[in-house]
């Protein structure tokens, strides 16, 4: 049973009135759950009504911070209560598939933190559960949001910048050894992968959101310093169907941290350099020498600025869920960047270039990303 007052659960009902906000719950009340609670508080389309964590004290403290939603003892009890419309899955990656599928099978929409799963097999099962229950399954890639990213994507889609030719994509982050002391981190069985799956996936996802479908991946996994089973650095060359080649590096051992994408098109260089989120000041569009001033001026970022983040993502997701309309592009195609990341692991394991057609021919990598890591550590 849920804990007694002051965290009384909302009265069960079979459905929300159309005009009522959607009833949201969070499972996993750790660090990132705060970004979800803040985003939910910012939209009138949602109301945080319940939370659950395997550590009840954490859940209670979280509930006190975020307006007193009901605290349940287990996800099973929460789902059986019939009191929610949307579950936010903010647990470590190893729990995402089971919890998301349980919620979808209970008729609840799911908003799941990245990385969505430990493997493509798991992600496929989650997508299947959404389809068979006619529910929505959203994976959080909040770096797709923000007015600058939307503007640049429109420029690419319209062809205003010409064909994208060459790109670099860097996630150079620093995670000291204590970061990996958390029990679920650094292990194939609980984190699923290393810095590529856990960190690089954000920039890889944004790159693919801007450039479209991928055509091939050749990658390698490296362990340079940290005491982990998984990689602390990866390198990859990705080609896209539109004819762009990208060099991608992801690192957890880089003291001056940066997240960056650079795309050189026929007419301009587009760059974004930030760390965990971007506003207009992080983006730059530099015209090629032959581009006239008036043409370049037409590419200027809009006056109205919205930074990237969970807030715009969840606002647009809830508006779609409430209206029954399609999910925004910031919340669709969750599998694409997971496929690219899986292809990096698959390529590292086989030494081969991986394509969308051959990706699913690697049953080991479909089940788990566990792959050989080249160890360059020195004693
Ligand atoms: N989108 C982003 O920018 C972003 C940033 C940080 C983390 N994340 C992702 O969010 C997820 C959680 O990361 P975090 O940093 O918040 O972790 P965390 O360790 O701070 O929080 C996880 C919480 O889940 C609880 N928990 C663990 N297993 C559970 C289970 N089976 N059932 C119920 N509760 C359980 C833990 O007690 C803890 O409170 C990860 O997938 C991570 O990659 C995303």
Q: What is the pLDDT of residues 30-67, one digit of tens each?
A: 999 999 999 999 999 999 999 999 999 999 999 999 99
Domains of the chain: 22-139 (3.40.50.720), 147-303+333-375 (3.30.360.10)
Mean pLDDT of the region 137-145: 98
Residue 113 CA to ligand 1 center (angstroms) comes to 8
> Candidates 29, 32, 87: which one to mutate for ligand 1, based on the most atoms within 8 Å of Cβ?
32
Strand order in the sheet with 214-223: 283-287, 268-274, 253-265, 164-174, 245-251, 233-240, 214-223, 374-375
Q: What is the pLDDT of residues 253-268, one digit of tens each?
A: 999 999 999 999 999 9
Q: What is the pLDDT of residues 153-173, one digit of tens each?
A: 999 999 999 999 999 999 999
Mean pLDDT of the region 318-344: 96
* Strands (E) located in 106-232: 109-112, 137-139, 164-174, 214-223
Q: What is the reported pLDDT for 4?
A: 34
**DSSP three-state, residue 318:** helix
Residue 218 scores a pLDDT above 90: yes
Q: What is the reported pLDDT for 10?
A: 39
Q: What is the reported pLDDT for 133?
A: 98
Residues near ligand 1 with C-beta < 6 Å? 27-32, 53-55, 58, 90-93, 95, 113-114, 140, 142, 198
> Candidates 59, 65, 91: which one to mutate for ligand 1, based on the most atoms within 8 Å of Cβ?
91
Q: Which residue has the tokens 């939209």?
A: 43
Residue 323 scores a pLDDT above 70: yes
Strand order in the sheet with 70-72: 70-72, 46-52, 22-27, 86-89, 109-112, 137-139
Dihedral pair phi/psi, residue 58, rounded to 5°: -65, -45
Tell me how far the alpha carbon of residue 138 is from its chain's centroid. 9
Euclidean distance between CA atoms 177 and 158, whole angstroms: 45
Q: How confident is the model at residue 6 (pLDDT cuts 50, 70, 90)?
A: very low
Q: What is the pLDDT of residues 267-285, one digit of tens each?
A: 999 999 999 999 999 999 9
Residue 218 CA to ligand 1 center (angstroms) comes to 30
Euclidean distance between CA atoms 24 and 52, whole angstroms: 12
């Amino acid at each position: 049973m849920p804990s007694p007052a002051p965290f009384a659960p909302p009265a069960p009902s079979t459905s929300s009135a159309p005009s009522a906000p959607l009833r949201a719950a969070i499972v996993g009340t750790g660090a990132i759950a705060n970004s979800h609670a803040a985003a939910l508080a910012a939209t009138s389309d949602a109301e945080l009504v319940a939370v659950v964590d395997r550590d009840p004290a954490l859940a209670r403290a979280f509930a006190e911070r975020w307006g007193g939603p009901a605290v349940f003892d287990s996800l099973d009890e929460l789902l059986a209560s019939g009191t929610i419309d949307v579950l936010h899955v903010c647990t470590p990656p190893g729990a995402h598939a089971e919890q998301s599928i349980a919620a979808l099978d209970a008729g609840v929409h799911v908003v799941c933190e990245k990385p969505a799963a430990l493997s493509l097999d798991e992600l496929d099962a989650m997508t299947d559960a959404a389809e068979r229950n006619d529910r929505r399954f959203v994976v959080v890639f909040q770096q797709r949001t923000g007015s600058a990213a939307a503007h640049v994507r429109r420029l690419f889609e319209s062809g205003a910048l010409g064909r994208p030719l060459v790109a670099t994509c860097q996630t150079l982050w620093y995670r000291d050894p204590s970061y990996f002391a958390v029990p679920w981190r650094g292990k194939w069985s609980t984190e699923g992968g290393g810095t590529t799956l856990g960190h690089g996936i954000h920039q890889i996802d944004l790159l693919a959101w801007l450039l479209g479908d991928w055509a091939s991946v050749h990658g390698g996994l490296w362990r340079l310093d940290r005491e982990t089973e998984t990689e602390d650095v990866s390198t990859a060359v990705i080609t896209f169907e539109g004819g762009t080649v990208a060099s991608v590096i992801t690192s957890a051992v880089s003291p001056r941290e940066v997240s960056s994408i650079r795309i050189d098109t026929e007419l301009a260089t587009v760059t974004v350099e930030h760390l965990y989120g971007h506003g207009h000041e992080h983006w730059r569009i530099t015209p090629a020498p032959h581009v006239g001033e008036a043409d370049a001026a037409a590419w200027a970022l809009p006056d109205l600025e919205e930074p990237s983040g969970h807030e715009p993502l969840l606002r647009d997701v809830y508006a779609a869920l409430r209206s029954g309309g399609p999910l925004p592009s910031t919340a669709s195609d969750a599998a694409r960047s997971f496929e690219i990341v899986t292809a990096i692991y698959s390529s590292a394991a086989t030494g081969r270039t991986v394509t969308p057609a051959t990706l699913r021919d690697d049953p080991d990598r479909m089940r788990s990303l566990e792959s050989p890591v080249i160890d360059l550590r020195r004693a």
